[in-house]
Amino acid sequence: MVTEKKFESIAEIQKLQELACKVPEDVFIHSLDNEIMVDAKSFIGLFTLDFSKPVKVVTESEHVHKVLAEM
């Protein structure tokens, strides 16, 4: 499942990273053009993405998608 999201703050990105670490499923973040893909559980990996633009959150975790929808 894929959710496209524009993160508005560092706190939101941090919340996603913490959430990703709590679920057993893989959680990846892709740039919209799919050129960059990082593991959302990797704090350092998150620095490779441009969060001034929307990104795609890819995971089979329904819980993650639900929380993203509420953010």
The pLDDT of residue 8 is above 90: yes
Q: How many angstroms separate the CA atoms of 57 and 15, rounded?
A: 13
DSSP string over 44-60: TGGGGS-TTS-EEEEES
pLDDT tens string 15-34 = 999 999 999 999 999 999 99
Q: For residues 15 and 57, is the Cβ–Cβ distance under 8 A?
A: no
Question: What pLDDT is recorded for position 17?
Answer: 95
Q: How many angstroms separate the CA atoms of 62 and 31, rounded?
A: 21
> Tokens 């704090």 belong to which residue?
43
Sketch out the chain's domains with CATH numbers.
2-70 (3.30.1340.10)
Q: How many angstroms separate the CA atoms of 59 and 27, rounded?
A: 5
Q: Whole-prediction pTM value?
A: 0.89
pLDDT tens string 31-71 = 999 999 999 999 888 888 999 999 999 999 999 999 999 98
Question: What pLDDT is recorded for position 47?
Answer: 87
